Amino acid sequence: MPPPSDLACCSVALRTLSNPEELLMTRPDPQRLRRTMALVGLYVLSVVIALTLAAVLIAITGGPWQKVLKALLDGSLLKPGRWGDTLAGATPLLVVALGAIIATRAGLVNIGQEGQLTVGAAAAAVVCTSFSGPFALVAGLVAGVVGGAVWAALAALLKFGRKVPEVITTLLLVFVASQGTGYLLTRTFLLLDPDPNKPNRSQTSAQLGTSTRIGRIHLFGNEIPWTVVGALVLAIVVSVVLHRTVWGFRLTVLGRNARTAQRIGVPVVIAGATALALSGGVAGLAGAVMLTSGSANFRLTPGFSNNVGWEGLLVALVARNRPLMCIPVAFVFGALRTGAGFLASTGVERSIVDVVRALLVLAMLVPPAILALWERRTSPPPAPVSTDEPIVSVVTA
């Protein structure tokens, strides 16, 4: 007979699955409000400390922090046309983060977004350089999703077929994807630019035609690709699916307790493999979006991903796996990426941006740990359980 704790979890889960409307019912909790306010205060304090440390490090390296800050703001927001580039750079970071959240919700650790993004970009490049016309762009984006999903499905096959941890397989597949894409760029019948008159053609694919390029919105002197709007819509869709649907609830149960999920009828293998493949598909979509939006001048090149997959993981980590919170976090990371190009005028190395980014990541991760430690120290000890009467577990269907 299963332990009472498992029976209780199964009972709650079964009642919720039989009445999905309960997922929409929330009750105000004053204690939760106080906890949220305390957490916000800790976040503000942590960010201030992180920025102060960054300013001290910049001063130590010999650069005035005022000029560095101005260069970052000019390069990301203030100069004409720059905030459009920031939004364009933040879009793939947001998409990758959303894919990572899907796998995490199911209790899986997918750290191979860099490889899945590369495979998705390569699949999109094959389609977009082979066909033209109104449907070629859509086909290229779909190919990116399929490529990333298939690459992640390999890790899912090893996870549920041979019990190989997905954190290992997804990581190792990153290097396989990088080397495989490099090989594709050495063969004309695959992805190598067939024009012999193009310089460095041994390192690039053919340039995408105009019919396979995503259009741009011209707003206040900025060119913003339509993918920005699509990424925002995708964030809303992922948030609703994970928090307001039965499928999302099943993934949550699977991520928290696989044994309980199995007892309430969740197909653990199918649900887990689907989540991991879908996570890779979303990362592959990010690669296709980068290619069709103008990254590397609409060409696939070695190192095309430019660490977007790794930074997208950081976005999900800082946002604490909340899809809507990924939007502002991705914007901040995108601003740091685009603003780094203006640091040459200050005499400070671009690598200082990596230090600032690392400090901001720590600033976002420390407050929840501090609050949890404080609550553990201040909470009263649990009441002793009486052994005079037997414990009876009642389960309602």
On whether the CB atoms of residues 208 and 128 are closer than 8 A, the answer is yes
**pLDDT per position as a tens digit, 40-84:** 888 889 888 988 888 888 888 777 777 778 888 888 888 877 888
Q: Where are the domains of the chain?
A: 4-16+82-323
Helix (H) or strand (E) holding 14: helix 4-18
Taking Cα atoms as reference points, which of 210, 228, 245 lies closest to residue 136? 210
Enter the DSSP assignment of 205.
Answer: B
**pLDDT per position as a tens digit, 96-106:** 999 999 999 99
Check residue 30 and give its pLDDT.
77
Q: For residue 26, what are the CA distances in angstroms to 40, 80, 239?
A: 21, 45, 16
Note the pTM of the prediction, 2 decimals. Answer: 0.84
Q: What is the CATH number of domain 4-16+82-323?
A: 1.10.3470
pLDDT for 8 beyond 70: no
> What average pLDDT does this structure show over 254-267?
92
Please report where in the chains the tokens 């029976």 appear, as a residue.
7
On whether the CB atoms of residues 173 and 115 are closer than 8 A, the answer is yes
Taking Cα atoms as reference points, which of 206, 173, 360 lies closest to residue 277? 173
Inter-helix orientation angle 268-293/113-130, to 10°: 60
Q: For residue 55, what are the CA distances in angstroms to 43, 240, 274?
A: 18, 39, 45
CA distance 29 to 89: 38
Please report where in the chains the tokens 């039965």 appear, as a residue.
246
**pLDDT per position as a tens digit, 136-164:** 999 999 999 999 999 999 999 999 999 99
> What average pLDDT does this structure show over 233-253?
95
